[in-house]
Structure 1
Amino acid sequence: MSQEVLGVIMLIVMVLAILLGFPTAFTLMGLGVIFGFIGAGPLVFELLVQRTYGVMTNDVLLAIPLFIFMGYIIERAGILDDLFRSIQLVMGPIRGSLAIATLLTCTIFATATGIVGAAVTLMGLLALPAMLRANYEVKFSTGIVAAGGTLGILIPPSVLLILYGATAGVSVPKLYAGAFIPGLLLSLSYLIYLLVRVYTNPNLGPALPKEERTVPLPKLLRMLATSFLPITVLILSVLGAILFGVATPTEAAAVGAIGGLVLAAFHRQLTFQNLKESVYLSMRSSAMVCWLFIGSSIFAAVFALLGGSSAIEQFVTGLGLPPTLFLIVVLIIIFLLGWPLEWTEIIVIFMPIFLPLLDRFDIDPLMFGILNALNLQTSFLSPPVAMSAFYLKGVAPKHITINQIFAGMYPYMALQLAVMLLVMIFPNLVYFLPNLLFE
């Protein structure tokens, strides 16, 4: 049996093992060692050590636990409760004010943490009951929570983009700059859709009753000053430091983590329990990502050593696809992979398979990364799996069915696809800021 065939068999076994529910990171490491030993002998153990050490010394990955910690400590400090309430009061006279407050809160929280599950769950507990009490239509309410919670995949400081940058060797600040306009464009498209729906059908999202939004101006200003202003300043400081080259992503993430602690202390929520939970959840998420990165690094190295990458490259190039069609095919494959797999698994396992083909098809890794961030957002809203819907179902009232949540998400899925198409047609939406800041 040739080494190329052995590499392809290893890839097939890996996909089957993951779909059967085997632990992804250890499956990757195990298959890498077993097939590597069969194909290359004891050399695979030296490769195992080198790859593990390489991941442990990757400075870019240090930003991941720090950004995750910033998100968790802000969440547990109760800052988002005050933020949601203050935006809700400001938007009170407008139809759909609760939905708009939900979207804006999701957008701000997305810049504090890229964890979809945390964002959807938190807003499902915070915003969904408020909208239902205000007689908002169920599908309309669940749709904005499920879709808004996925914005953290794309909007900086996205953990996905950090991991993609480390995998593809692309500058994380450039990825952040490239994602900024598409992320805001996506959020803006959600807002326009909400306003069109509520002003064409007032029953979907009525304005807040006057008695509920009547708050003295000094009190409202104080609420904004203690909720919206501090978290906005923190986020803009972190992103500004990265985009203007003042600090590396890791240094900016450290500042963000400290800023999260300061905000928690300011809100008198910096308790030992909150700190312990935030550290535990951050370490658990970070450990999962790093073990996946180690496993995928070993797997990818053995796969390339056996010639599997060359076999796939020869097969794909033999199809004679034009670059645009190749890109569309890859996006469809990754979209389908987003049903059974988490985005972390897709980035660290399957991206290394496609990345070597980008040069041959003259596709920029920066554009490829932004398109796939949008693509993975779409897969979070796509039945039958649609992880965002199941996160929300776990905290929604029992009378809300999964099919109602699915129905509410469809329009946002269409908007995501529309923004992805816009980015492909007008690439300057991605390149404008990177060219302005880094050229």
Structure 2
Amino acid sequence: MPFAKRLVYLKGVILPVLLIGCVLGAIYSGIATVTESAAIGCVGAILVAIVRKELSVQDIRDALWATTVTTGSIVWLIVGAVSLVGIYNIIGGTTFLNGLLTGLDVHPLVVILIMMAIVMVLGTFMDWIAIVFITVPVFTPVVSSLGYDPIWFGILFAMNIQIYMLSPPFGPACFYLKSVAPKDVTLQEIFLAVLPFIGLQLIGLTLVLLFPQIALWLPYLGK
């Protein structure tokens, strides 16, 4: 393809790239929260469509309908997960888990591995907010009593939650992708396609677990 023709096609991606830069820039610069940046992205997408003369009432209706379907399915999953958390706490599950972890006669690193395994298992059927409500109040005191840095454990936890975003059968990211993927792409195909990325996340999690300084050198750089 001639270079001049490439430039013509390149013009079509300038505005979307600028939009992505504005959304991510607002997040990483601290100007806006993730939810506020989503609103910026929504308004920006409408403006881009207007500039490109591609906006129509039907497009807006389709976007609103797709958003309603996707959000509705995720919200019901969250309702179920939060309900499970409430019942779990009422029957004393948090106290039981705390006593179980602190009473184990094993190497402290094994306790951390058990915590990570619990988060992974919960991530297959529970929303991340519910996982945080169940595990963080129990895990944090145990981690401190074992002599580990809470910042290090927090980063491990966040990386584990990233794995949850892709893990079937819950995998919210997979459902988000299915909502915008072509109709001939099945959810099962998406779940299979994300397996290599789950593997990469596990490798990163293992490295931070074995070499804590990977996660700690930057937070303590100015101290």
Matches within 5 A, 1:400-419: 412-419=197-204
Partner SS state of residue 352, structure 1: helix
Q: Residues 434, 245 of structure 1: CA spacing in aligned structure 2 closer, same or farther, 3 A cutoff?
A: farther
* CA apart distance, 1:259: 0.9
Q: Work out which of the residue numbers 233, 243, 260 in structure 1 matches 2:18.
A: 233
Look up the match of 2:114. 329
Q: How does 1:185-264 map to 2 (within 5 A)?
A: 215-227=1-13, 229-264=14-49
Structure 1 residues 368, 409: closer, same or farther in 2, change over 3 A?
closer
Shift of 1:424: 2.8
Paired residues of 2:159 and 2:201 also in contact (CA < 8 A): no
Identity %: 24
What's the offset of the Cα at 1:260? 1.5
**CA 241–413 in structure 1, closer or farther in 2 if over 3 Å, else same:** closer
Partner of 2:161: 373
Q: Is the 8 A contact 2:166 2:194 kept in 1?
A: no
Instruction: Tell me how far apart the structure 2 counterparts of residues 234 and 434 of structure 1 sit (CA, whole Å).
Output: 30
Distance change in 2, residues 1:334/1:307 (3 Å): closer
Task: Look up the equivalent residue of 2:22 and give its one-letter code.
Answer: S
TM-score normalised according to structure 1 size = 0.39
Aligned to 2:147: none
Is the contact made by 1:292 and 1:348 (CA closer than 8 Å) also made in structure 2?
Answer: no
Q: Secondary structure at the match of 1:359?
A: helix
1:59-90 alpha-carbon deviations (Å, 9 max, x no partner): xxxxxxxxxxxxxxxxxxxxxxxxxxxxxxxx
Q: Which amino acid aligns with 2:34?
A: P
Alpha carbons of structure 1 residues 244 and 268: separation in structure 2 relative to 1, 3 Å? same
Task: State the AA in 2 paired with 1:326.
Answer: V
Alpha-carbon distance change, 245 to 298 in structure 1, aligned in 2, over 3 angstroms: same
- Residue 395 of structure 1 pairs with residue 189 of structure 2: no
Determine the structure 2 residue equivalent to 1:271: 56
- 1:308–1:428: structure 2 CA closer, same or farther, 3 Å change rule? same
Kindly indicate whether the alpha-carbon contact (under 8 Å) linking 2:19 and 2:41 is maintained by their aligned counterparts in 1.
yes
User: Taking structure 1 as reference, are residues 377 and 421 closer, same or farther at Cα in structure 2, changes over 3 Å only?
Assistant: farther
* Aligned-partner SS, 1:278: helix
- Kept after mapping to 2: 8 A contact 1:379/1:386: yes
Q: What is aligned with 1:170?
A: none
Alpha-carbon distance in structure 2 between the residues aligned to 1:274 and 1:435? 49
Q: Count matched residues.
A: 206
Tell whether the 8 Å contact from 2:123 to 2:131 is kept in structure 1 after alignment: no
Match of 1:354 in 2: 135
Q: Please, what TM-score do these two structures have when normalized by structure 2?
A: 0.69
In structure 2, what residue type is equivalent to 1:358?
A: T
Letter in 2 for 1:347: W
* C-alpha distance in structure 2 between counterparts of 1:259 and 1:225, whole Å: 17
- Map 1:140-151 onto structure 2 (within 5 A): none
Q: CA deviation at 1:262?
A: 1.7
Give the whole-Å Cα distance in 2 for the aligned partners of 1:293 and 1:386: 10
Deviations 1:133-160 (A, max 9, x none): xxxxxxxxxxxxxxxxxxxxxxxxxxxx
Separation (CA, whole Å) in 1 of partners of 2:69 and 2:219: 33
Does the 8 Å contact 1:374/1:420 carry over to 2?
A: no
Q: 1:413 to 1:366 in 2, by over 3 A?
A: closer
Give the residue type in structure 1 aligned to 2:184.
V
CA contact (8 A) 1:338 1:346 kept: yes
5+ residue gaps, structure 1: 1-214
Q: Which amino acid aligns with 1:420?
A: L
RMSD: 3.8
Residue 96 of structure 2 corresponds to 311
Contact 2:20–2:41 (CA<8 Å) still a contact in 1?
yes
SS of the residue aligned with 1:245? Answer: coil
Unaligned runs of 5+ in 2: 145-149
Query: d(CA) in 1 for partners of 2:91 and 2:73?
Result: 27
**C-alpha distance in 2 between matches for 1:270 and 1:236:** 21
- Cα–Cα, structure 1 residues 275 and 429, in superposed 2: closer, same or farther, change >3 Å? farther
Shift of 1:241: 1.8
For the structure 1 residues 294 and 414, does the alpha-carbon distance in structure 2 shift closer, same or farther, using more than 3 Å as the test?
closer
